[in-house]
Amino acid sequence: MNNFWTDILEPGYYDKVLLNGLNKKRGIQANWHNLTFTYISQFLNPGMKHLDYACGPGTLIGNYSFSESVGVDISDKQINFAKKKYGEKSEFLSLSSFGKTYLEKEEFDIITILGLFEFISDDEILDLLNKLYDILKPGGKIIITTLNYKSKIKFLIRLINKLGSVDYQNQHSNELNSVGLEKIFTKTKFKHFNVSTFLNFGVFFSIISIKLGSRLNKAINQINRLNSNYLLVGTLTKE
């Protein structure tokens, strides 16, 4: 992985983008994360033990999780931000601390990995999924999201680069599509998995209003579940 998460990204960047956008009721990037987290939240039910791997500033856990959640991230700066803002609700750990605490028992009902795979190699994805398999309870699930490079995501990245303060152009080292993601999944310990897509061009209208962007995304998705949607959603279930 490059130094995007540890050195380039300011602490709490995505938390601020999302919450400021919701407050202003507009913003493509804000509603991108809002729609994604809202979709994921349906799996984070009360009474479940949840791990958010690559949790960043803790926004999913702090605002969308109904489970008993634990957040872990490679960036100490993001973890420190999460502890200060959301530490009363959940536990947030550095990667090294997490390894000492949780990697030896079947602990979690659900694990989320959102927006990480585009930054790491196929081999790193495979190694990570197999390690996380071991700490899932039987019947537990891993849910991942990553960019769908069969879509027009490169156009969206160029747009965000112009409108935002972070340059994504050279950060994404792994340009996955559904076929490539399923190929990785077949090499893991998981026997049951599927890949779907999420988020369509309706999200662009969030630049006018988040309500409009959300409604159009939902309406377009109901009409046609396009393979050109911007996000891949992978679900892996442990027997």
Is the per-residue pLDDT at 164 higher than 70? no
The CA R_g of the chain, rounded to the nearest whole Å, is 17
Average of per-residue pLDDT across 23-34: 96
Helix (H, G, I), strand (E, B) or coil at 169: coil
What gap in Å lies between CA 237 and CA 136, rounded to an integer?
A: 9
Tens of pLDDT, residue by residue over 30-58, are: 999 999 999 999 999 999 999 999 999 99
Locate 113 and state its tokens: 């990995």
pLDDT for the residue 8: 75
> For residue 161, what pLDDT is reported?
67
Q: What is the rounded distance in angstroms from the CA atom of residue 108 to the CA atom of residue 176?
A: 27
Arithmetic mean of pLDDT over the chain: 91
pLDDT at 1 over 60: no
63: domain CATH number is 3.40.50.150
pLDDT digits (tens, 9 = 90+) for 61-105: 999 999 999 999 999 999 999 999 999 999 999 998 998 777 778
DSSP H helices in 103-142: 122-133
Compute the average pLDDT of residues 3-13: 81
How buried is residue 221: exposed, middle or buried, by Cβ count under 10 Å (0-12/13-18/19+)?
Answer: middle
* Rounded mean pLDDT, 2-30: 89
What span, in angstroms and rounded, lies between the C-alpha atoms of 166 and 93?
25
pLDDT at position 157: 74
The pLDDT-based confidence of 168 (bands split at 50, 70, 90) is low
- The whole-number average pLDDT for the span 220-238 is 85
Q: Which domain holds residue 70?
A: 4-237
State the pLDDT at residue 151.
87
pLDDT reported for residue 7: 72
Quote the longest CA-to-CA distance of the chain. Answer: 48
pLDDT recorded at residue 228: 76
DSSP character at residue 149: T
Question: Domain count of the chain?
Answer: 1
Which pLDDT band holds residue 9 (cuts at 50, 70, 90)?
confident
